Amino acid sequence: MILRWEKDQDYYLVHVHQDMFGDWLVTRAWGQSGTLYGGIKHTLVASPEEAATLVDDIRHIQESRGYHKVLEANNPDDIPGSIKSTMKDELPFQDS
C-alpha cells in the first residue's frame, strides 16, 4: 500500500510492504517537493494489521497538521502518471 499526503510544497509518503525476508515494514518519506530536504524512516511491524494501525495513526497526525491525502494505491503500477511524475525522487519510486 502506498499513501501520500501533501500541504503546499511538503509531502509525506507511506509505503507498507514486505522485505525479502517476509518481514512487514512501514516506510515513511517526507520532504519538500523538488528539493533534497526531507527524511526517511523504516519501522518493522509484526503483521499487516499492526501496519494498518500505524498507518491510521500517521493519517490522523498528517490531517491534523493540515495535510490532505492525494494518493492511495495498492502498488506502484496503480499510481496515475500525473502523480507519479511528481514523485520522481521519492521512495519507493527512485527509478521512475
Distance (Å, whole) CA 42 – CA 72: 19
Domain membership of residue 77 (yes or no) is yes
Summarize pLDDT for 28-63 with one digit per residue, the tens.
Answer: 999 998 888 899 999 999 999 999 999 999 999 999
Distance (Å, whole) CA 34 – CA 24: 29
Domain membership of residue 92 (yes or no) is no
Domain membership of residue 94 (yes or no) is no
Average pLDDT, rounded, for the chain: 87
Domain membership of residue 12 (yes or no) is yes
Position 96 confidence tier, pLDDT thresholds 50, 70, 90: very low
Q: State which residues form the domain around 27.
A: 2-87
Q: H helices of 1-96, where?
A: 48-64, 81-84
> 38-45 and 68-73 as β-strands: parallel, antiparallel, unpaired?
unpaired
Please provide residue 91's backbone torsions phi and psi, each rounded to the nearest 5 degrees. Answer: -65, 140
Domain total of the chain: 1
Domain membership of residue 18 (yes or no) is yes
Domain membership of residue 73 (yes or no) is yes
* pTM score of the predicted model: 0.81
pLDDT above 70: percentage of residues in the chain:
88
